[in-house]
Amino acid sequence: MVIRFVFQQKLILNGNENKPIFEHNILQNLDFSKSTTQYNPAVSVQNPGEGLRMRPLCRGDYDKGFMSLLSQMTKVGDVSREEFEARFTAMEACPDSYYIVVIEDTMTKKVIGSGTLVIEQKFIRKCSSRGRIEDVVVHNQYRGKQLVKLMMDTLMVLSQQLGCYKVSLESEDDRVMFYSQFGLIKEAGQNYMCRRFKEM
């Protein structure tokens, strides 16, 4: 019974596991000409480094270590495949909203980097939209390969290209200098405020 259930689940996923959360072409066709970021050696969305691939998050990434990667950034908790699938479906149902980009090691087939751009639609600024960069993380064994920089650059260019009037993120004090290279500033007179309702 249990075996049949697992088998059926696998079958359902097989048709779907490579389904991206947003259209692949959007990433491939980004125009980096406005980016001021320098790379040495050169890396890009199309070529993030040897054996690495940059692409939208797919359903099958649950099996490629996506959740454990996120746990290098903050508390994740136990998330079952069903919970992951349900959340993926809910995000998918909001078109043009969730741009989750991952980097995969094509040899190990593990997700080793991730970053999210969330697009919030607004009435203000002539019905414009605002971008929020969230959950940027690169596996600790892949640091020093300019991957956080490339991920940030990608999400910044993407937000501009999607027409956001502004983009923002939350940063720890010691990351402020790093993020400033992407044109992000602490705006005078503005404070990031937050109230936490629960400790997961």
Where do contacts with ligand 16G occur on this chain (CB under 6 A)? 74-75, 133-136, 169-171
Q: Which is nearer to ligand 16G, 10 or 87 (CB)?
A: 87
Q: Which is nearer to ligand 16G, 75 or 198 (CB)?
A: 75
Residue 188 beta carbon to ligand 16G: minimum distance, rounded to whole angstroms: 21
Residue 172 beta carbon to ligand 16G: minimum distance, rounded to whole angstroms: 7
Q: Helix, strand, or coil here: 95?
A: coil
Residue 71 beta carbon to ligand 16G: minimum distance, rounded to whole angstroms: 11
Closest CB to ligand 16G belongs to which residue?
74
Which DSSP category does 111 fall into? E
Residue 33 beta carbon to ligand 16G: minimum distance, rounded to whole angstroms: 24
Q: Which is nearer to ligand 16G, 46 or 72 (CB)?
A: 72
Residue 16 beta carbon to ligand 16G: minimum distance, rounded to whole angstroms: 27
Hunting for tokens 């890396």 — which residue is that?
A: 43
Sheet of strand 52-56: strand arrangement: 52-56, 98-105, 110-121, 129-138, 164-169
Q: Which is nearer to ligand 16G, 45 or 169 (CB)?
A: 169
Cα–Cα dist 105/117, whole Å: 21
Q: Which is nearer to ligand 16G, 25 or 74 (CB)?
A: 74
CB 156 within 8 A of CB 178: no
Instruction: Label the pairing between strands 98-105 and 52-56.
Output: antiparallel
If phi > 0 it is left, if psi is from -120 to 50 it is alpha, else beta; for residue 193 that is beta
